[in-house]
């Protein structure tokens, strides 16, 4: 077990961060209200989409006299609303809050939901903010000038995540090398060994797993090959704590996590130097950057605020974005909310539980059970012998069936047939315990499973096809 070596205190040499940390909750909410009022007043005058939404709700900018009024009366939007707006008023919809000739960068969402890609126009200020909102969590996690940081997320392209890392690393003054995209994992490892002193890695949860497994398969112990490594930063997917423990042991440093999205114009929160483990080995907390993005956590059915300790949907409001801001946007992201009073982080920022963030639209209703892919991931990857897996839900003669193909990690190649059978039985039992469903599991070669450079989509729901005549 790694000692989880402490990293630099970000508040010690950043008066700005210390100012936000030391605010009282009323002071932070007063700042939020000022920014909300400024944003709403501006959009009422410049954005046909938001002006129309406000008029339909019978709301004027002058009516927003408190955060409570804002949350109760300003209507929410979701992806379907944005897609319909774009279709009617291409390319950015009526949401654009600046003139078209002021758009400095075009960003799009990844389209992984299958509902299409939202388009965002960014002003010059928004591009600078995008860099800041990537630099912020990494600075809080110990990245400093002179460090060499390996960015495994595909750079460039149309997504916010493609542009933000380069901007953020540049702002901090660290040395970047971007290896995302078409380069194979083995080629990335060769480059890491050639560069030598790598201090920080940014990757999706899935890709850090792939990279670690590939290093071990080549007989390379990460903590020995890269002794200066002091930060591993992941985002985009959940994970079991058993997996996080092994990652820290392999690399000899703390694992950190951030929550972000195109709608946030970068990261909206981070575990910071505390890492993904909390008190007594429980899950850690992601502190939300509430001075830039205001978050509400609501019950997706009643739309009422979620209580501390409960899972709710994240609703985001950009407080400073100019080009294509989101106002009370329902993200579809499911997170366990922990109030600042219960969090005990020393700041008054809202928090969400690390490692368990999922998507409400990823949930599968199987035999009367609400099944989350993140829960299955947690069950599967709590077993060190597993390399990866893929699953499908399908219909056979009118009956719902669930099947999984599982590949063992290369370092488990020496397991006997009986031992492999025992691991598969253990995985099946762990899935049953966490989800209340029985899964038919068969072993396959790792080469038979898809590889993911960023977000993993391990499950396919084929039930609709099963009902076709």
CA distance 211 to 222: 10
- Give yes or no: residues 50 and 127 share one domain: yes
- Give yes or no: residues 24 and 112 share one domain: yes
- Give yes or no: residues 326 and 441 share one domain: no
Domain of 443 in residue numbering reads as 364-466
265 touches 126 (CB < 8 A): yes
Q: Give residue 279's pLDDT band: very low, low, confident or very high (50, 70, 90).
A: confident
Coil, strand, or helix at residue 447?
Answer: helix
Tokens 């609303």 correspond to 81
How many percent of the chain have pLDDT more than 70? 95
- Give yes or no: residues 123 and 266 share one domain: yes
Q: Give residue 170's pLDDT band: very low, low, confident or very high (50, 70, 90).
A: very high
Task: Name which of 146, 468, 107 is nearest 323 in CA terms.
Answer: 107
CA distance 10 to 330: 31
Coil, strand, or helix at residue 20?
Answer: helix
Q: Give residue 437's pLDDT band: very low, low, confident or very high (50, 70, 90).
A: confident
Q: Give residue 3's pLDDT band: very low, low, confident or very high (50, 70, 90).
A: very low
Number of domains in the chain: 2
- Give yes or no: residues 293 and 322 share one domain: yes
CA distance 333 to 313: 6
CA distance 306 to 327: 19
Q: What is the CATH number of the domain that holds 22?
A: 3.40.50.12780
- Residue 294, token pair as written in the block: 């205001």
Of the residues 345, 360, 375, the one at which a domain ends: 360
Buried b (16+ CB within 10 A) or exposed e, 394-405: beeeeebbbebb
CA distance 422 to 420: 5
- Give yes or no: residues 324 and 385 share one domain: no
- Give yes or no: residues 321 and 381 share one domain: no
Encode pLDDT of 28-66 as tens digits: 999 999 999 999 999 999 999 999 999 999 999 999 999
- Residue 438, token pair as written in the block: 């029985």
CA distance 295 to 265: 14
- Give yes or no: residues 404 and 257 share one domain: no
pLDDT of 22: 93
- Give yes or no: residues 301 and 381 share one domain: no
- Give yes or no: residues 379 and 277 share one domain: no
Of the residues 312, 344, 360, the one at which a domain ends: 360
Tokens 């000038």 correspond to 145
Task: Name which of 322, 298, 292, 325 is nearest 50 in CA terms.
Answer: 325
- Give yes or no: residues 83 and 229 share one domain: yes
- Give yes or no: residues 149 and 10 share one domain: yes
Encode pLDDT of 201-242 as tens digits: 999 888 898 899 999 999 999 999 999 999 999 997 788 898
Of the residues 329, 360, 391, the one at which a domain ends: 360
Q: What is the CATH number of the domain that holds 460?
A: 3.30.300.30
Specify burial of residue 84 (Cβ count, 10 A radius: 0-12, 13-18, 19+).
Answer: exposed
Q: Give residue 4's pLDDT band: very low, low, confident or very high (50, 70, 90).
A: very low
Encode pLDDT of 86-125 as tens digits: 999 999 999 999 999 999 999 998 765 546 789 999 999 9
- In this structure, is the dihedral angle defined by the CA atoms of residues 33, 35, 40 and 41, taken in order, positive or negative? positive
């Amino acid at each position: 077990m790694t000692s989880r070596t402490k990293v630099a205190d970000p508040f010690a040499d950043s008066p700005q961060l210390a100012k936000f940390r030391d605010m009282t909750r009323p002071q932070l909410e007063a700042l939020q209200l000022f920014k909300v009022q400024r944003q709403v007043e501006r959009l009422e005058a410049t954005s046909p989409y938001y002006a129309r939404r406000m008029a339909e709700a019978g709301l004027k900018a002058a009516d927003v006299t408190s955060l409570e009024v804002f949350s109760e009366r300003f209507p929410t939007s979701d992806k379907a609303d944005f897609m319909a707006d774009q279709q009617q008023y291409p390319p950015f919809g009526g949401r654009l809050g600046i003139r078209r000739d002021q758009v400095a960068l075009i960003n799009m969402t990844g389209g992984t939901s299958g509902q299409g890609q939202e388009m965002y126009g960014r002003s010059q200020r928004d591009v600078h903010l995008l860099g800041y909102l990537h630099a912020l969590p990494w600075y809080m996690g110990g990245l400093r000038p002179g460090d060499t940081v390996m960015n495994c997320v595909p750079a460039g392209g149309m997504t916010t995540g493609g542009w933000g890392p380069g901007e953020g690393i540049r702002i901090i003054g660290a040395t970047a090398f971007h290896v995302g995209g078409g380069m194979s994992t083995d080629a990335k490892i060769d480059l890491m060994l050639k560069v030598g002193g790598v201090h920080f890695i940014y990757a999706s949860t899935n890709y850090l797993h792939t990279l670690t497994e590939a290093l071990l398969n080549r007989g390379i112990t990460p903590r020995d090959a890269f002794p200066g490594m002091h930060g591993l930063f992941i985002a985009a997917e959940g994970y079991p704590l058993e997996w996080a423990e092994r990652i820290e042991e392999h690399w000899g440093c703390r694992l950190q996590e951030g929550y972000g999205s195109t709608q946030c114009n970068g990261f909206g929160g981070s575990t910071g130097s505390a890492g993904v483990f909390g008190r007594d080995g429980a899950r850690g907390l992601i502190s939300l950057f509430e001075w830039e993005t205001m978050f509400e956590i609501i019950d997706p059915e009643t739309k009422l605020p979620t209580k501390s300790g409960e899972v709710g949907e994240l609703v985001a409001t950009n407080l400073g974005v100019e080009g294509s801001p989101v106002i009370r946007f329902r993200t579809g992201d499911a997170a366990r909310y922990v109030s600042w009073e219960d969090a005990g982080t020393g700041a008054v920022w809202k928090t969400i539980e690390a490692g368990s963030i999922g998507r409400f639209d990823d949930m599968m209703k199987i035999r009367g059970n609400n099944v989350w892919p993140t829960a299955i991931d947690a069950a599967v990857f709590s077993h060190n012998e597993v390399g990866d897996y893929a699953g499908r839900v399908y219909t056979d003669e009118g009956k719902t069936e669930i099947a999984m193909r599982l590949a063992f990690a290369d370092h488990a190649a020496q397991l006997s047939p009986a031992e492999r059978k025992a691991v598969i039985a253990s995985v099946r039992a762990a899935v049953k315990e966490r989800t209340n469903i029985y899964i038919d599991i068969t072993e396959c070669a790792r080469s038979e499973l898809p590889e993911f450079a960023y977000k993993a989509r391990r499950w396919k729901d084929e039930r609709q096809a099963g009902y076709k005549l």
